[in-house]
Amino acid sequence: MAKRLMPKKQLEGVGLTLTGACVVLVALVVVTLIFMVAQQGLSAFFVDGIIFLSFITGTSWVPSDGVYGALPLIVTSFGVMLLAAPFTLPIALGSAIFVVEVQPWFGRRIFQPLVELLMGVPSVVYGPIGLTVVNAAMRAIFGEAAGTGAGILSGGIVLAVMILPTVTTLSIDGLSAVPQEYREGSYALGCTRWQTVWHVVLKSALPSLMTAVILGMTRAFGEALAVQMVIGGVEKVMPAGLLSPAATLTTALTSGFSNATTGSAQYHALWALGLLLMGMSLIFILIIHLIGSKGRRTVASKTSAQLRGNDLGIDLDEHVKKIGRQDRVATGILTAIVAFVLLLLASIVAFILFKGLGKALSPGFLTTSPLADENPGISSEIFDSFYMLVITFLISVPISLGAAIFLVEHAPDNWAAKAASTAIETLSSLPSIVVGMFGSLFFVVTLGWGISRRPHLEAQDGAHSR
């Protein structure tokens, strides 16, 4: 019997070791990233002599003149983020209520998969859409005051569309997690569906809904490519209004990092911007943890007290008409919100097909090299994309799966496990531009691996040059 159990114990030990190593590896990556970003970012102040207060409060960002005032970039970053939230929150919350409470069959089987399809659209695709549609709309609405149409308002609208699927999906999960007993208790007190949603479901799901909003704002704060195409890219001065061209922290990094000389003051100043972005991501994660640890218990206790009390009770004889009208109005509003989201999704898909389908179906476009003499295509880009995707899958999936198994099944409930979970959440919330800067510094510079190249294209390029 003991001999038969030994292999199982050994297998358990091997599995525990491997999954624990995955958690340690992820934690090391996060610690290394934070250390290297902080080291490079703080060098701007301790090595290059940039005054921190001037860096934070300066109103002009002109690296070519040695002027590093990040306040316009900070203000614009918060501006587009705060503009996106009011656009997104009512639509996302209304859609989530419709899916969970009004039409679960349609919502779960049709609407939610379509929203998740919108969430899968790469952020770079939203840039040309915003450049073509949103900027043109700004010019049509505001005339000469909008200039080219590029500005903070355009960036906020594009970000609102981008984070809408994320906030909607997380809100659906939050409302679905509310115990069914809460709804049944409300109905037993004589409450209607809308009263139950408003007084019970939303209050119980408030921590989850706040988390959804914060995660959406985190993505909006760190977005780079789509915003860069529609916001104007003006870094030198403070924006004068919502229609003014401007730049965010991420767009300044995207446009300036490739031109900065390694080790220069400009290089370190850009890393300081990355350090600010990383700090904001950490703050967002801490807020989410604070909401999750304190808000859920408080809201749940208040909801339970409401269900036990009489404040939700109503006199059906006197208010049946009023309540019925409220329910019909609320259902109509929610239906209109869902219709708007479906129309938005259809418009995005139609725009992409209209602009790109003709070129994609042209002969040889998908199979020809971009360096072909006639009718160049994107065959190399397609191959590189799938090649990179496969490598990413082979590296990330085993590590992430092992870390998840260890944290769920084996990790004790102590500070180390919580720190590991926070590290993983921090890594997932970091702006992609910061992760890219870290990859450039660690793999290209520190390890000396160099930039990824395509030898077959270089050979063709050399042949063309000769």
pLDDT tens digits along 230-244: 888 887 778 888 888
Give the containing element (helix H, strand E) for 68.
Answer: strand 67-68
pLDDT digits (tens, 9 = 90+) for 198-228: 888 888 888 888 888 888 888 888 877 788 8
Task: Tell me how far CA of residue 161 lies from CA of 67, 78, 117, 141, in angstroms.
Answer: 34, 17, 13, 19
pLDDT digits (tens, 9 = 90+) for 282-337: 888 888 777 766 554 444 444 444 444 444 454 545 556 777 777 888 889 999 99
Give the containing element (helix H, strand E) for 24.
Answer: helix 2-46
334/107 Cα distance (integer angstroms): 12
**CB-CB contact of 54 with 438 (8 Å):** no
Least confident of 146-150, 205-209, 252-256, 323-327: 323-327
Supply 458's token pair. 């270089």
Domains by residue range for the chain, with CATH? 1-47+378-466 (no CATH), 59-361 (1.10.3720.10)
Distance between start and end Cα atoms, the chain: 75
At 169 the pLDDT is 92
CB neighbours of residue 105 within 10 Å: 8
Residues 318, 321, 327, 333: is their CA dihedral positive or negative? negative
pTM: 0.83
Dihedral (Cα; 166, 171, 177, 178), 10-degree rounding: 170
Whether residue 270 is predicted with pLDDT greater than 90 in this model: the reply is yes
231/276 Cα distance (integer angstroms): 20
